[in-house]
């Protein structure tokens, strides 16, 4: 006789909870140590190449730029490899490559500029492979856990990017030749956490229809394109607060005090990301809530913070700190929400392809915003909110608000469309998509 199915015991429920906690811990450890390793080297790579390898400033800048470009946009070239290896194996491959080439960088070789450029680009490519695959792993979680997973990733990124420059700065002072080797060691720690990540090692053997071939993995739908383009406004505003701010405030706020401003950002993210994620999920699930309302609120706070940054030139550090607090509250909402929405709006795109293309769009928007902002603030006099140097911040605030309104409008106009996130995927990373787009 077959007994009736019983609900899970408290012990079983506790075991499931412990497994989820172990997976989240692995996500945080792997992503934080990887970011710490990358940012221990990246801010000082140009200086290290000039002082220890004898490169010119222009050549060192070219090497650093190659690593950044490969890291931000290189994942598009690696999508076939990610599909062939699977997500978890791609994370391992990415970290193994990072360990290898960081170690080669630290071997004391004497290379031409082209050799350093290739090594730095390979580091960026392998880290792009691991980062894209890890985002796809989180996106493959059940819909109710996806935003939480991306929130933990955002927390880990900020913790690692805050710790990395501290490690790199100390090593550059104590023993400069150890700088790349420290990144290799930190990526070994990230590699050790990979077995506990969510997901399986084996790829699904389930056959898909003929129409769901590899070509459809690159079929981009209007819904995904519109979202990616609209989000570019937010990334341009982000660039003014992160990339342009040191140049804008350079004459009025001491560089050491600016370090405190960015430390505040990192500390707030680590301390508040989890409770803010809980609040975001409540808003998403509320009868009158949803993605449009949440993004609009985050965009309004982002716009206010950007305007306060513009005013910081005339008022000083206290206002800049207040602006960074507001900016961080906004980032705690829209940054993980952006990653989660990439998954939900991808249509027939595979998960790795969706995150690779989204990374190209966001990286291009941030780069253009940083370039234009720096061009407009450097050498411009004036400290008032209406000074010419504040123009990029007014433009960024307007973009943040317009992006929020456009996102809310796009959500309402597409709410009647049937979900299509599973279409054409045909692998073991399919997921349930939340009805609230």
Least trusted range by pLDDT, from 5-19, 184-198, 357-371, 382-396: 5-19
Smallest CA-to-CA distance from 337 within 323, 358, 352 is with 358
Question: What is the pTM for the complete model shown?
Answer: 0.71
Both structure tokens of 101? 């080439």
Residue written as token pair 């140590």: 33
33 pLDDT more than 90? yes
Q: Could you tell me if 85 and 156 are in contact, meaning their C-beta atoms sit under 8 angstroms apart?
A: no
Q: Give span(s): CATH 1.20.1250.20, the chain.
A: 23-196, 217-426
Q: Pick from 10-14, 139-143, 191-195, 264-268 the range whose average pLDDT is largest.
A: 191-195
Q: State residue 30's pLDDT score.
A: 95
Residue written as token pair 């989000």: 231
The class level of CATH for 217-426 reads mainly alpha
Average pLDDT of 281-304? Answer: 88
Q: Pick from 113-117, 284-288, 306-310 the range whose average pLDDT is largest.
A: 306-310
Both structure tokens of 183? 């990144």
Residue written as token pair 């412990």: 18
Output the furthest CA–CA distance in the chain (Å, rounded): 86
Residues 6 or more apart whose Cβ sits within 8 Å of residue 398: 303
Distance CA(344)–CA(328), nearest Å, equals: 24
Q: State residue 430's pLDDT score.
A: 31
Q: State residue 380's pLDDT score.
A: 65
> 432 versus 290: which is more confidently predicted?
290
Distance CA(359)–CA(17), nearest Å, equals: 32
Q: State residue 305's pLDDT score.
A: 96
Burial label, 295 (beta-carbon count in 10 A; 0-12, 13-18, 19+)? buried
Both structure tokens of 404? 């929020």
Q: State residue 414's pLDDT score.
A: 56
288 pLDDT more than 70? yes
Distance CA(104)–CA(16), nearest Å, equals: 41
301 pLDDT more than 60? yes
Confidence of residue 217 (pLDDT cuts 50, 70, 90): low
Q: What is the pLDDT of residues 383-425, one digit of tens each?
A: 666 777 789 999 999 999 999 888 877 665 554 444 443 433 3
Both structure tokens of 16? 């499931």
Confidence of residue 213 (pLDDT cuts 50, 70, 90): very low
C-alpha distances in angstroms, 405 versus 187, 308, 377, 400? 41, 21, 28, 9
Q: Could you tell me if 275 and 346 are in contact, meaning their C-beta atoms sit under 8 angstroms apart?
A: no
16 pLDDT more than 70? no
Q: State residue 382's pLDDT score.
A: 61
Decide if domain 23-196 falls under CATH 3.40.50.970: no
> 100 versus 209: which is more confidently predicted?
100
Average pLDDT of 27-47? Answer: 87
Q: What is the pLDDT of residues 70-112, one digit of tens each?
A: 887 788 888 889 988 989 999 999 999 999 999 998 887 788 8
Smallest CA-to-CA distance from 64 within 94, 90, 44, 40 is with 44
Smallest CA-to-CA distance from 105 within 115, 92, 95 is with 115
Average model confidence (pLDDT) across the chain: 79
Dihedrals φ, ψ of 22, to 5°?
-65, -40
Q: Could you tell me if 428 and 206 are in contact, meaning their C-beta atoms sit under 8 angstroms apart?
A: yes
61 pLDDT more than 60? yes
Smallest CA-to-CA distance from 216 within 48, 365, 420 is with 420
Confidence of residue 428 (pLDDT cuts 50, 70, 90): very low
214 pLDDT more than 90? no
Average pLDDT of 351-357? Answer: 87
Q: State residue 323's pLDDT score.
A: 95
Dihedrals φ, ψ of 380, to 5°?
-90, 130
Q: What is the pLDDT of residues 165-180, one digit of tens each?
A: 888 878 877 877 788 8
429 pLDDT more than 70? no
328 pLDDT more than 90? yes
Q: State residue 216's pLDDT score.
A: 52
Q: Could you tell me if 395 and 409 are in contact, meaning their C-beta atoms sit under 8 angstroms apart?
A: no
């Amino acid at each position: 006789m077959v007994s009736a199915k019983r609900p899970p015991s408290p012990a079983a429920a506790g075991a499931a909870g412990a497994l989820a906690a172990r997976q989240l811990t692995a996500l945080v450890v792997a992503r934080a140590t990887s970011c710490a390793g990358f940012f221990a080297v990246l801010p000082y790579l140009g200086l290290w190449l000039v002082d220890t390898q004898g490169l010119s400033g222009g050549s060192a800048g070219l090497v650093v730029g190659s690593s950044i470009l490969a890291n931000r946009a290189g994942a598009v070239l690696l999508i076939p490899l990610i599909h062939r290896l699977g997500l978890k194996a791609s994370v391992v491959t990415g970290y193994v490559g990072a360990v290898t080439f960081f170690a080669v960088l630290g071997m004391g070789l004497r290379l031409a500029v082209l050799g350093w450029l290739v090594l730095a680009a390979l580091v960026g490519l392998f880290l792009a492979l691991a980062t894209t695959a890890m985002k796809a792993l989180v996106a493959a979680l059940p819909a109710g856990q996806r935003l939480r997973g991306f929130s933990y990733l955002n927390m880990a990124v900020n913790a690692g990017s805050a710790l990395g420059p501290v490690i790199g700065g100390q090593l550059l002072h104590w023993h400069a030749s150890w700088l790349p080797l420290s990144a290799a060691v930190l990526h070994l720690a990230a590699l050790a956490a990979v077995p506990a990540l969510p997901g399986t090692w084996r790829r699904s053997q389930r056959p898909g229809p003929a129409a769901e071939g590899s070509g459809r993995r690159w079929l981009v739908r209007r819904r995904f394109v519109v979202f990616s383009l609209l989000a570019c406004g937010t990334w341009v505003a982000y660039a003014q607060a992160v990339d342009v701010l040191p140049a804008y405030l350079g004459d009025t706020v001491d560089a050491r005090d600016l370090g405190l401003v960015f430390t505040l950002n990192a500390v707030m993210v680590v301390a508040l990301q989890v409770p803010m994620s809980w609040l975001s999920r409540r808003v998403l699930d509320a009868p009158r809530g949803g993605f449009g309302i949440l993004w609009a609120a985050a965009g309004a706070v982002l716009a206010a913070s950007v305007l306060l940054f513009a005013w910081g030139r005339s008022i000083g550090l206290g206002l800049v700190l207040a602006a960074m607090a507001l900016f961080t509250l906004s980032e705690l909402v829209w940054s993980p929400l952006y990653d989660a929405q990439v998954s939900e709006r991808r249509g027939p795109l595979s998960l790795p392809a969706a995150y690779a293309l989204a990374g190209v769009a966001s990286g291009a928007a941030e780069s253009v915003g940083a370039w234009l902002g720096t061009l407009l603030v450097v050498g411009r006099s004036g400290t008032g909110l209406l000074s010419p140097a504040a123009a990029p911040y007014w433009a960024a605030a307007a973009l943040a608000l317009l992006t929020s309104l456009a996102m809310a409008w796009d959500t309402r106009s597409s709410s009647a469309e049937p979900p299509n996130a599973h279409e054409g995927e045909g692998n073991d990373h399919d997921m349930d998509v939340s009805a609230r787009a």
